[in-house]
A and B are shown apart, each in its own frame.
Chain A
Amino acid sequence: GAVVSQHPSWVICKSGTSVKIECRSLDFQATTMFWYRQFPKQSLMLMATSNEGSKATYEQGVEKDKFLINHASLTLSTLTVTSAHPEDSSFYICSARRDPGSEQYFGPGTRLTVT
Chain B
Amino acid sequence: RKEVEQDPGPFNVPEGATVAFNCTYSNSASQSFFWYRQDCRKEPKLLMSVYSSGNEDGRFTAQLNRASQYISLLIRDSKLSDSATYLCVVNRGGSYIPTFGRGTSLIVHP
A interface residues (Cβ-Cβ under 8 A, vs B): 1, 34, 42-44, 46, 49, 91, 93, 100-109
19 residue pairs from A and B, CB less than 8 Å apart:
A34-B98, A43-B87, A43-B103, A44-B44, A46-B100, A91-B41, A93-B44, A100-B91, A100-B96, A101-B31, A101-B96, A103-B34, A103-B46, A104-B46, A104-B98, A105-B46, A106-B43, A106-B44, A106-B45
Q: A101-B32, A101-B91, A103-B34 are in contact. Are A44 and B100 (CB under 8 A)?
A: yes
A106–B43 Cα distance when bound, in Å, is 6
* Number of residues on chain B facing chain A (CB within 8 A): 21
Whole-angstrom distance between the Cβ of B11 and the nearest chain A Cβ: 16
Contact yes or no, B91 A44, CB < 8 A? no
Report the nearest B residue to A32, measured CB to CB.
B96
B97 at the interface (CB under 8 A from A): yes
A107–B44 Cα distance when bound, in Å, is 9
Interfacial chain A residues near B103, Cβ < 8 Å: 43
Which of chain B's residues 29-65 have a Cβ closer than 8 Å to chain A? 31-32, 34, 41-46, 49
Whole-angstrom distance between the Cβ of B95 and the nearest chain A Cβ: 8
Interfacial chain B residues near A107, Cβ < 8 Å: 43
Interchain CB contact (< 8 A) of B43 among A43, A49, A108: A108
